[in-house]
Amino acid sequence: MWARWVLAGYLIGFLEGSCVHILDLARDGIHAYASFPQASLQVFFVSLAMLDPLVAVLVGLVRREGIWLASAVMVTDVFANWWGNRHWLQDDPARLVWLSPITLFGLFVVAFLLPLHRAVVRTRVAQP
């Protein structure tokens, strides 16, 4: 039962991320993340417009791959946000509040990686 709630949390988070990144691209095009000076971060954040919906679909289908991909995406996303915003954080530490939701969601996803994976494997094995 708990696994369904965790999967729902994953799904809500990645659907929200999908909307944010797709709307950013719809509004500002390929240069939506030009405020990040590193081209690698810009490319990564653009790629989230495809990765976040992919994770949402895989998690919605209760696929083990979706659970692992969710963790990989969130670890990378949290790191990229902290790295890309590090100069603003030095100038204005209050911006930590802005990074709190993504950091907390990333911790949530990673914390449930192994328990959720085990629960999904057990459920699949138990089904004929």
Average the pLDDT over each of 59-63, 92-96, 102-106, 114-118 and give the range with the smallest value. Answer: 92-96
As a whole number of angstroms, the distance between CA 56 and CA 66 comes to 8
pLDDT at 45: 95
As a whole number of angstroms, the distance between CA 45 and CA 32 comes to 9
Predicted structure pTM score: 0.90
38: left (phi over 0), alpha (psi -120 to 50) or beta: beta
As a whole number of angstroms, the distance between CA 5 and CA 89 comes to 33
Q: What are the two backbone dihedrals, phi and then psi, of residue 74, each rounded to the nearest 5 degrees?
A: -70, -40
As a whole number of angstroms, the distance between CA 106 and CA 75 comes to 6
Q: What is the pLDDT of residues 83-100, one digit of tens each?
A: 988 888 788 888 788 899
Query: Residue 47 corresponds to which tokens in the numbers above?
Result: 């790629």
Residues 6+ apart with CB under 8 A from 74: 105, 106, 109, 110
Query: Residue 69 corresponds to which tokens in the numbers above?
Result: 């991909």
